[in-house]
Each structure stands twice: as structure tokens, then as C-alpha cells.
Chains A and B, each alone.
Chain A
């Protein structure tokens, strides 16, 4: 800790010397969308004469210090028209830059210029995918899915068929830090993971970081998915809604006080339970009522307190529920009336909220203070009631059982952005999170005729933990060719009187090569203090978050990555990256264990081991124009070694995928029609299946295998297409989207099992889940006042 503080002080002394220069002034302010006044994070600011540049921070704030005199500043942001500002600098300035969304290719600045390479960040393995692009991709059952869109990027793999879980560079689904407005999301899946919880209508920006992690992030080994909600339109009321096959959603945003306070609220609910009722009634009795649904709500308020202060309040709430009720019934037998009813349900959901206060401390310094709350819980309820009424008495019996597991966080986060000169962008701050883990509690209550009541509670006790992180990082432009982002992240974790801490160095360097090629390299050391107990094949809501304990230490990783890239005409990107990642102290269920072994403590069900992954990723992307899209290819290996699994022999990770290809095309046909298609291919997952059988010492047959995960499932591939017809009406815009998932009806494997064939012989069978599925959705949007 002392080392960290000393390092911080030394760095400050150094930068104070650097920043002392005669007659320099600072231009600071915000970069915003001209139509909504929403801040634009990561926009580039570039001074064309001195070739100095910087970028706006997550809240659209920028600061650039330049010598006194005339300057030509260029402000650019992907998907927006570039803006030039001539500035005569004779003192500090505070300005707001409004960028217009680009409608056509011509409005996007694609002028080639070698100097623009200087803007390129030192960071690597990071991709920002515009939400508008995600919305134009073919969507499963018409539901735009942010996480599934990320699966199309190189280095990111999907799990089993239909799942929205992310497996980044050989890591597990627990190793992704998914942040929604700075609040962690612990289970990002609806409907057993077939849909992600994020409603694209509420999302402004999504950034995926696969490696070369900046020091400000910590707590997970494999990736960061930083999702920012829209802030709400400051100028006018916008309404957007859609009706789909399985769900409908509505978004309303607008000013509460024009240019001062805005809001956005979105909601989505599935109606599978209502649509399926006729089918369900056909296979159950008239007394049964069951169904499955999910909903989610996002809301955010954004308030400008003053020119230097802003306040954001955002909330997400989502829930999945399966219910099976036996409706009250009554019957008479032998003069006695019997009344019965039962209700059972299984539900899970997240609640996240954040309150953030931005403050511009001075022209060069920006501060953000955030308080976040995050809660994920999984509940099983079972209630039964029976009443017996005779001529002389009434007796009743009530039985209820409740199982609860989950995780709850309260966190306080403070970040300072300090931009002393165009050569430095310094960030430092802290994050302190108070976790409460509830690994599973059963409550049973039995009540008989109101006189005999018994309650009992059993299961694992709640565990509390305090996780704290401190960081310092600098985006440092050493010279015209070299730019580096280096930093330190200090993490501590206090749980059950056990204290874990680590100092995690991070660095990434960019070097401009001749011929406009850029070489990048990075190193990141990460520590993850929490673990996910997950079943081997499907992502269930029963997957359990647990803390590191005295017996189970934090997971650690080290990742090296290197690559080259080149951007042609600001529109075409070619990128090649290689990586090697070591993971230590990762956990896995022991052989034979599962979440159903509820009588065992979770620590007794897991084993600790290590893993490695390495590979190469290629991305060819066309970013703008009537034809957009990319081709991504990943060649990778991912292995695991656990002393208590496979008798210590290294085995392939279940999502070890040698080849992974994504081809994405978005084509604007004319003013009304848009077409998009995606084709994905992946080597089959590694599966463990019994391969041999023989009698054991007692004569009973044993079915076993030689090596874990030695069978390869069939390769996965499918093609999805979508057509969208957009029409301008007198009240706004409407569009119809027709999509087809798995156009050529590929029967991709979901799982395998041994059964019998038509002749009664034992046979291996493959179950495929989603074949060709058409979808249709209708979207409408309008503004008040109406768009001109």
C-alpha cells in the first residue's frame, strides 16, 4: 500500500515538471450529440498543426493543453460527422462541441492521412461496437442481443447453442466483468441464457476489452464488458417501441427540464407464458397453470447541476420466473370436504443501480464519484395447502419451502481524470465493494391447524467480504511513434479474517511502423477474488457466486498479447493479434459433484487448478458506408489442469475451440430496405462421453472414458439473415423486420446422450435445439416535437 502511494506521489512530481511550460492554455469541455445532447465517450480531439491529440472520457469530457496561438482542432467520433474548430488560444477555454450523427457515407470523414494514426490509442484487444450496428444484425427471435453481438468478434466464443454467455480468450463465463453503468451484473442471461438481459434500446455504448486491461479495471481475469446506458434526450421526447414474436418493448426518453434534466425509461416483457397457455392446457389438467416469462426495466435520470457538475441516477431491474400452480380445488368424499392448492415457482433476477456525480475540478481535472448497488438472487418456492372440513371440525395443513441463493454488492467508486498535457492522460481512483454472498439457504415452514407451527432454516451461511481496488494509469505519448498506457492496480480482499492482496502491473504500447502499420503489445496481470460454481454444460441460474476463502484462494492470470493493425482510408481495418494467457487457482466442480449435492459444503465440491490459453485473432472490418461488416477468425487452444480431475492430466477446456469464424454483412439497399446476414462457424465443443465398458470386481458393468473432454461435438455453423423495411410516416418512423435464424436448418449440437435406437441397440444421440426459426418484428419511433 505504501509502495503504491509513494509511486503515485513520484508520478505526480514528474508530471508537474512536465506540464510546466510557458504560455500554455487549456481547452476543455464536453463533446455531445447535437440531436440529443448526450455525451460522446471516446471521441477524438486532434490538433492538426502540432499533431497533438486526446480523447473524451466516459462522460464526454475532454481537456487539451496547447501553446497560446491559433489552432485547428478536429473533433471526430465513429458514426458522426467530423467537425473542425479554429481556435485562437489566449487563455483557458471551456467549450461544448456538438457532433451530428452521419446519415450517409459522405458525411463521415474518410480522408486518408498518416497523421491520424497518431490518434490511435496505445490500448489493444479492445473493441467498441456501436449499438446501432448491433440493432441492424440478424437477431434470434427478433430480439437484439448485445452479448450475442459480441460473440461475433474474434477472441469471443459462444458456449452451447443459443447461449449468450461469453468465453473470451479461453476464459470461463465467470471471468467477464460485465458493468452496467459501473454496477456489476452477475447473471446476464434471461431464459437460461438464451437472451441477454440488456435491452439494446436503453444502451448507448458497449466496450469489450479482451486483454491489455487498463489499470482502472480489476476483479476478473478474461474480459471487461463496459456497458453504458443512454442518458436521455435533453432536447425532445422520443418514443420507440417494438412488437416481436416473443416480447414487446417500449422506450421513452426526453427532457424533464430542457437542456438541464433528462430521463429514459425502457421496459420489455415476454409473453411466451400467454402464447403457450393453449398448448400447456392441452398437456396438463384444468387445475394447472404454468408458464415462463421474463421482464426487464431500465431507467435513468441525468441532471446538469451546473456547468461543472452532473448527476446520473440509473436503475436496472429484471426477473425471470417459471411458475407451476395447482389452482384451488375442492371435493367431497365420504361426507368430508377436502380443499387443496399448491404453488411452486423458480425465479431469478438482477437489480442494479448507480448514482454518479461528475465534477469538473478544473480545466485539466475531472472527477467522478459513484455509488452502486447490485443484487442477484435465485429463489425456489414451493407452497402446498390442504384443508379438511368435517361436520364438527376444520383442520388445515400448510407446507412451504423456500430456497434462496445470490450475491449482493454495495460499492463506492471514485475516479479522477487528469490531463496535464496532450502527452498524458492520467487516471487514478479507488473502488470499494462490500459483497454479501448467499451460497444457498433452505427455509421450511410447516403449519398445522394454526396450532402447530414449525420453521427451520438450513444451508450455507451468508459470507461477507470487502473488496478494495486502487489504481493509477497514464496514457503517455512518448514521441510521434510510441504511445504507452501503463498502470498499476492494487487489489485487496478481506473475507472471514483472511486477507488477500495483490499488485497488478498493466502495460500496453503502440508503435507506428512504416507504411501506416501499427504494432501493439500488452501485458496484464489480473486477480479475481470471487468464483462461479457452474455446471459443466449449460448455464443455469443455479450457478453460484462464491468468495475466495481461506481454502479457496483468488484466481490469477497473466496475459501477453501482441499484434499489428492498419486502417485504410479511416474505413477499413485489418488487425492481427496473438495472445498467451496463464490462469492459476481457478476452480471447477470435482468429479461427480454438481449443484444438486446440496448436503455438501460448496468448498468440498470444488477443486483448484490452473489453465492456459493461447491463440491468434484476425479481424478485417469495413466500418462505414452502405456496405459494412467484418470477417473475424480465431485460432485458439484452451486447456485445464486439476490434480483431482482426470487424475492430474491436462485436458482441453470444454469450450476449447480450434477455429472460430464470423462473417457479418450489413447492406443498405436503398432508403427503405436494409439487409444483414451473419455466418458463424466454430469447432465443436470438447465433451466427455463414456467410450468403453467392462465389468468391475463385483461384476457390475463400469462405463468410463480414457480422457476427459476427448470427444468433439459436431462443428457449429449457421447462417442468419434479416431484412428491414423502414418507412417515414407523418408521425415518425416505422419499420418491419423479417429474419431467419439458421437459414439452412443446420442441426447444431446442444447435448449428447446414450439412448437406444429403433432396434433397441444402444446408440449415441445428439439433440439439436434451434433449427430454422423465422422471426418478425415491428418497430415504431417518433419524436415530440417531430423531427424535421
Chain B
């Protein structure tokens, strides 16, 4: 079907031979607001960055607002206040470690802007009941540019016990640590880098109906149909890399609903950038009177053998 796209462009080009394009001078400017970004993680300090939103036709560079007054509340009680950014361009609450099961609220005020408010809870860590892998086949591609490449496919089996009292949203990443090399003009290795080699099987990524969307190496899903139940999710693995790949890492994050909706809108937004026919996407925000995201995420990292 994508083959029709260039044809349409040709047709439209054919038809609009007499078209006229004009610059619109009176497009209304939007009043600037604060755009706040903060993802809270348990056992870490809270880092917040605030930008000034710009009207779409504004050619000014993005500007960080570092003179705002921030106040942080935990379950309705004030737990911290900052008069200005205290860590480079960031507002940093080093002593406040978000705890799962609590609601955090942040207000930010700055002269010339509407005061913004945002609230989010910190989800409890996911409860893993089973974690295993099945390797289907392994093979070696042989030596390519002095490196032996390995290939394998398999399956990850993850058992979860969902908390029935809350709506739960999850992000799952799986990867292997792999090494990449850089060479000089003589073909000698001059440096090596360790990187996260995603195991996502892009050919089969939508084969699991529970997965609502993906982003890079991450799968996103919710307990929409399995609230409070113990369930198993199976995901295909596709690996190709320079090491045989014995250990597999997973990161399972319980994320707040706001982060889930924000990510979902961002994925659609990024996908739509190359498609002029796509429907417009409104980026999700939970910032009252402003833009951005204020959300929480609790991560579990596990390493298992893969062979």
C-alpha cells in the first residue's frame, strides 16, 4: 500500500499545477507556559527541568527556566522547596527519595507564567513470579571485518502477579551486553564499546496481543484485561551480535498511567512525522496550566542465563 504514496504525490502535483502558496502573517501566537519534565524513581533524588514553551513560529532557541519556585508535596504535605535551579539547569531534590504507594505533587511558579501543578504516584515494583528463556536456534555468521557474529532466536517467558487494587502499567526492556569495535585505517582495533544490544524481534513484535506499543528495546503493556491476576507474557527474542550472548538482562518497570499515556502519544507522534496523511496527535500531559510530564517509575533489573 505504501506504493500508492508516491503515486498520490504525483497526482496531486499534477492537479495543483495552478496552486498558489502564501505565507500566513496573522497566525496567532500562543502565550508561553512552563513545560516541566520529571520522571521520579524510588531511591533516587528527584530531578526536574523546566522549559519555556514557545509559539510554533517562534525562531528563538529553547530556553530553560531556572528561576522558578518549586514546592514538592508528599501525600499532601510539603516536603521540599527550591527557589531556583540548583544543579546546572536542573532543580534537584537530593534528599527526597520517592517511595512506592505515595502520591507526589509538584507546583512551580514564576513571574510571567501561570503556576503549574502536577501530581503522580510512584507505582510499586512489579512482582515477578517466573522468568525464563527458551533458545530455539543459534548460529554463527562467521567472521565479518575481523569479528565473529552470532545469531540466535528464542523466547522470553515472564510471569507477573498483578496488584488488583490499582491499574498497572508496565515497560519491559530486554537486552544483552555486547561489544562493538572501532578500527583505524589499517583495520586495527583502536577502541571497544560496551552497549545494550536489543533483543526485540521486530518481525514478531505485535504477535503478543498484550503489547500495546513498543519503543526501541521497550515493550509497553497494561493490566487492562488481567487486573489482579497472575499472568505470563511471552516475547520472541532475536539476537545478533559479536558475543555468543550467554546472559540476558531485563528491566521491568512499573510506570504510572501518566507516563504510559505520555509515551503512547510520543510513539504515535514520532511515527507520524514521516506520514503526511496521519491524523493529528495531541501529546499527553498531566501538567495543569502547562506542558510536559511528571510521572513515576519503579524498576526491577534481572539477569538470567540464555543458552
> Can you list 16 A-B pairs, Cβ within 8 angstroms, ordered by A?
A346-B8, A403-B1, A592-B278, A596-B1, A690-B56, A691-B28, A691-B30, A692-B53, A692-B54, A693-B53, A694-B291, A696-B37, A696-B293, A697-B39, A765-B21, A770-B18
The smallest C-beta distance from A707 to any residue of chain B, in angstroms, reads 8
Tally of chain B residues near chain A (CB < 8 A): 57
Check if A646 sits within 8 Å of B282, measured CB to CB. yes
Q: Which of B8, B28, B271 contacts A592 (CB 8 A)?
A: B271
Among residues 593 to 608 in chain A, which have CB atoms less than 8 Å away from a CB atom of chain B?
593-599
Contact, CB under 8 Å: A322 / B24: no
Among A53-61, A147-155, A755-763, the one that faces the other chain is A755-763
Contact B56 A703 (CB under 8 A): yes
Q: Are A695 and B3 in contact (CB under 8 A)?
A: no
* B283 → chain A closest CB, angstroms: 4
Q: In the complex, are the beta carbons of B1 and A591 less than 8 A apart? A: no
A764 within 8 A of B: yes
Give the Cβ gap from B232 to chain A, nearest Cβ, in Å: 23
**Judging by beta carbons under 8 Å apart, are A702 and B55 in contact?**
no
The 3 closest A-B pairs by CB, nearest first: A592-B268, A694-B35, A598-B1
Residues from 529 to 546 in A contacting B, C-beta threshold 8 Å: 535-536, 540, 542
Q: Are B24 and A765 in contact (CB under 8 A)?
A: yes
Asked if A398 is an interface residue, CB under 8 A from chain B, the answer is no
Partner of B56, one of A322, A593, A596, A692: A692
* Total inter-chain residue pairs, C-beta < 8 Å: 179
Additional 17 contacts, C-beta under 8 A, given A594-B275, A750-B16: A324-B10, A344-B3, A346-B11, A380-B7, A401-B3, A591-B265, A591-B279, A592-B272, A597-B278, A693-B54, A694-B35, A695-B37, A697-B293, A706-B30, A747-B20, A752-B24, A768-B20
Q: How far is the CB of A280 from chain B (nearest CB, A)?
A: 8
B15 at the interface (CB under 8 A from A): yes
Judge if B192 is at the interface, Cβ distance under 8 Å.
Answer: no
Q: Mask for B1-34, Cβ within 8 A of A = 1, else 0?
A: 1111101101110111111111110011010010
Partner of A191, one of B5, B15, B58: B15
Tell me the residues in window 51-88 of chain B with beta carbons closer than 8 Å to chain A beta carbons: 51-59, 62
- Residues from chain B with Cβ under 8 Å of A535 in the complex: 277
Q: A691-B56, A763-B24 are in contact. Are A403 and B3 (CB under 8 A)?
A: yes
**Is A688 at the interface (CB under 8 A from chain B)?**
yes
Task: Known contacts A692-B291, A694-B62; decide if A750 and B35 are in contact (CB<8 Å).
Answer: no
The yes or no answer to A680 lying at the interface (CB within 8 A) is no
Residues of B near A708 (CB, < 8 A) are 280, 282
B23 touches A705 (CB 8 A): no
Pair A596/B277 contact, Cβ less than 8 Å: yes
Q: Does A287 contact B (CB under 8 A)?
A: no
Contacts of A620 in B (CB 8 A): none
Is the CB of B135 closer than 8 A to any CB of chain A?
no
Residue of A nearest to B16 (CB): A769
Which of under 10, 10 to 19, 20 to 34, or 35 or more describes the interface residues of A?
35 or more
Residues B263-279 near A (CB distance < 8 A): 265-266, 268-269, 271-272, 275, 277-279
A440 in the interface (beta carbon within 8 A): yes
B284 at the interface (CB under 8 A from A): yes
Does B51 lie within 8 Å of A694, measured CB to CB?
yes
CB distance from A756 to the nearest CB of B (A): 10
B37 near A403 (CB under 8 angstroms)?
no
**Are B278 and A594 in contact (CB-based, < 8 A)?**
yes
Whether B1 contacts A595 by the Cβ 8 Å rule is: yes
Q: Which residues of A contact B8 (CB under 8 A)?
A: 346, 540
Q: Is B292 an interface residue (CB 8 A)?
A: yes
**Interface flag for A589 (CB, 8 Å):** yes
Query: Could you tell me which residues of chain A, from 284 to 333, have a CB within 8 Å of some CB in chain B?
Result: 290, 292, 322, 324
Closest to A322 in B: B11
CA distance A694 to B287 in the complex (A): 13
Question: Once the chains are docked, how many angstroms separate the CA of A322 from the CA of B12?
Answer: 11
How many whole Å from A47's CB to the nearest CB in chain B?
A: 56
B277 touches A765 (CB 8 A): no
Q: Which residue of A lies closest to B278 (CB)?
A: A594
- Tell me if B157 counts as interface (CB < 8 A to partner A): no
**Residue contact B279 to A693, C-beta cutoff 8 Å:** no
Digit string of A726-741 for contact with B (CB within 8 Å is 1, else 0)?
A: 0000000000000000
The docked-state distance in angstroms from the alpha carbon of A757 to that of B21 is 11
A105 sits at the interface (CB 8 A): no
Asked if A396 is an interface residue, CB under 8 A from chain B, the answer is: no
| A292 to B16 CA separation, bound complex (whole angstroms) | 13
With contact pairs A692-B53, A767-B21 given, residues A192 and B59 touching in the complex (Cβ less than 8 Å) = no
Chain A neighbourhood of B293, CB < 8 A: 696-697
* Distance A646 CA – B280 CA, assembled complex (angstroms): 9
The interface centre, meaning the residue of A401, A591, A598, A706 with most chain B CB atoms within 10 A of its CB, is A591
Query: Nearest-CB distance from A622 to chain B (Å)?
Result: 35
Is A594 within 8 A of B1, CB to CB? no
Whether the pair B23, A764 counts as a contact (CB closer than 8 A) is yes
Contact of B10 among A290, A690, A766 (CB under 8 A): A290
Interchain CB contact under 8 A, A691 and B55:
yes
The reply to whether the CB of A84 lies closer than 8 angstroms to some CB of chain B is: no
Closest residue on chain B to residue A759 by CB atoms: B59
